[in-house]
Amino acid sequence: MDTMYPRSHKRRSRRSAKSELLYRLSQLLREHNHRHSRLAKGCSGDTAMARAQILKQGFLKLHELGYKLRDPANFGNRHMQVLARHWEEQKLSASEIQKRFSVFRVFATWVGKDGMVEPAAKYLLNPSCAVRSYVARKAKGWSGLVDDIEQKLAEVAKRDRLVALQLALQWVFGLRAKEAWLLHPEMADKGTHLAINWGAKGGRDRTVPIEHPAQRQILDIAKRWANDSTGSLIPDTRSLKAWRSHFYRVCRSCGIARTTGLVPHGLRHEEANAIYKSIAGVDAPVYGGDVTSLDPDRDYLARQVVAEHLGHSRPEITRAYLGPLVSALKRSRNTQSAEDKEEEQGAETAHGPFPTQSSEDFSRPDPT
């Protein structure tokens, strides 16, 4: 029986444009999304999930705006331009805009268009919208936001003691939330230090010193509360994804949320400043520490220790926790002083020094 289509002709999919797009996008994600963007290794589950979400949202938004692609491989610079302007109109933060550009930049390599996506600033009406600042301008630790950290943790414990315990681990050891969830207290306890081998960002395992009684006390409690079958601090009844949702839901119910400025990650900031102060002798710049007489080398040494403690490879990243480097602050002050001096000299040259009036000029006239 003759067919309606010649054998050489490919029959068009009966799916709608949107369904076809999502189908082909899912194929690309299945093929590429498990890979690291640059290195010959896999990426984390969180990274893969974030990529998939951003790409799906982006392509659906293009459909909503009238760009009804059937094949994501046809994505081009004009589509990137449309998305960029849309994100700009939404007033997304610079970090969020850069994150989304990074994902689409990786996606472009999957479809053979490596290098197509240019720097974010080239697509925006206001390029400054994409400029990120890596230097903390205000303290994010809990001490400046709550009267008593222990009291706040006790409030959380009334709702969920395990969530409160994990927050306490973040506080005394400077852990990320995921590191606290996946910590195996028995295996991690090496006596003088804690081994962070589970949930570490980028797979960068590290050790954290156990130096004061509060750390030992919290760790011993964690051992008693650990899951008997897995050894971690996630109950058997929940997956990692489910526990993450539960953890942040409990936190939000206690006022620990981005909307209040009080977030779990702030406990890492708290520990970062405590370590810095123990070495530098003063609070970090962002916490109002008087670093005018602090040796820049000592500041840098303190930051190196903080960076290693938090699981970062570069001391410069501590600017996000502690504020600007002391050396940068001093350069800024010296530059400002020089500019002020030049302005004063310029004013004197133009107008002459301000005349000094003698006391006789202001004396009361003699009534006679």
In the chain, where the domains are located: 17-130, 148-264, 268-326
pLDDT grade for 103, boundaries at 50, 70 and 90: very high
Six token digits for residue 41: 């290794």
pLDDT grade for 367, boundaries at 50, 70 and 90: very low
pLDDT in tens, 104-127: 999 999 999 999 999 999 999 999
Given a contact cutoff of 8 angstroms between Cβ atoms, the answer to whether 111 and 29 are in contact is no
CA distance 8 to 126: 50
Could you tell me where the DSSP H helices lie in the chain?
Answer: 17-32, 45-64, 77-89, 94-110, 149-159, 161-173, 177-182, 185-188, 213-225, 240-253, 266-280, 296-310, 319-322, 326-351
User: Is residue 7's pLDDT more than 90?
Assistant: no
| Count of CA atoms in the C-beta half-sphere (13 A) of 163 | 23
pLDDT in tens, 261-280: 999 999 999 999 999 999 99
User: Is residue 335's pLDDT more than 90?
Assistant: no
Q: What is the mean pLDDT of residues 13-29?
A: 90
Q: What is the mean pLDDT of residues 146-158?
A: 96
pLDDT attached to residue 157: 97
Which DSSP letter does residue 207 get? E
User: Is residue 195's pLDDT more than 90?
Assistant: yes
* More confidently predicted of 132 and 154: 154
Q: What is the pTM of this model?
A: 0.69
Name every residue whose Cβ is closer than 8 Å to that of residue 256 and which is 6 or more positions away in sequence.
152, 156, 262, 263, 264
Please give the mean pLDDT across all residues of the chain: 86
pLDDT attached to residue 357: 39
* More confidently predicted of 278 and 203: 278
Question: Greatest CA span in the chain, whole angstroms?
Answer: 133
